[in-house]
């Protein structure tokens, strides 16, 4: 039974990018009502030659001035299959409540666009570079614009379904 499970997981890993939906846009500026502290933004992905959307949640009392010395850890949240950056953004209201009640420490959340069904992998033919755009472009972009703690010890990933696969793949 374990061999079947391992084979199935390897098959998903090796074939995941075959399920990419090329019609799914990278940037989805509208998708619902954003929670307090959230903004929809874009960054330019040179590897995909397009603008990619993301939603950022900034904690209460976030000081955007260049003189601020307060830095925050970052959680990158990956949506499930056929989703986009709006897929997990509703989590931000729970995060905000937990921060305000001192249940968790203040942190920044980034809700990533995984281009539909990419499994957060780069496609074999090179037409979609989802992992590259996150690791090589989005993370440096976020670190350059926001008061993050810019090291891997202060970054986390979170994902649901396909996003869980992407989270596991990029974390390990």
pLDDT in tens, the chain (172 residues): 566 545 444 444 444 444 555 568 788 888 788 999 999 999 999 999 999 999 999 999 999 999 999 999 999 999 999 999 998 999 999 999 999 999 999 999 999 999 888 999 999 999 999 999 999 999 999 999 999 999 999 999 999 999 999 999 998 7
Q: What is the pTM of this model?
A: 0.85
What is the greatest pairwise CA distance in the chain?
57
Q: What is the CATH number for 98?
A: 3.40.50.1820
Q: Where are the alpha helices (DSSP H) in the chain?
A: 2-15, 91-100, 130-132, 139-145, 162-171
Distance CA 42, CA 85 (A): 11
Residue 63, domain extent: 2-171
Number of structural domains (the chain) is 1
């Amino acid at each position: 039974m374990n061999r079947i499970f391992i084979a199935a997981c390897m098959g998903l890993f090796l074939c995941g990018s075959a399920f990419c939906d090329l019609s799914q846009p990278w940037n989805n500026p509208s998708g619902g009502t954003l929670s307090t502290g959230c903004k929809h933004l874009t960054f330019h992905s040179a590897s995909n030659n397009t603008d990619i959307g993301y939603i950022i949640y900034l904690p209460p009392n976030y000081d955007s001035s260049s003189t601020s010395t307060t830095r925050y850890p970052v959680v990158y949240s990956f949506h499930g299959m056929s989703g986009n950056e709006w897929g997990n953004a509703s989590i931000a209201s729970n995060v905000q409540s937990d921060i305000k009640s001192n249940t968790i420490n203040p942190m920044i959340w980034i809700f990533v666009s995984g281009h539909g069904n990419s499994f957060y992998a780069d496609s074999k033919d090179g037409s979609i570079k989802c992992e590259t755009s996150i690791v090589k472009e989005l993370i440096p972009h976020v670190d350059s614009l926001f008061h993050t703690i810019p090291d891997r010890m202060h970054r986390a990933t979170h994902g649901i379904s396909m996003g869980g696969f992407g989270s596991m793949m990029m974390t390990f």
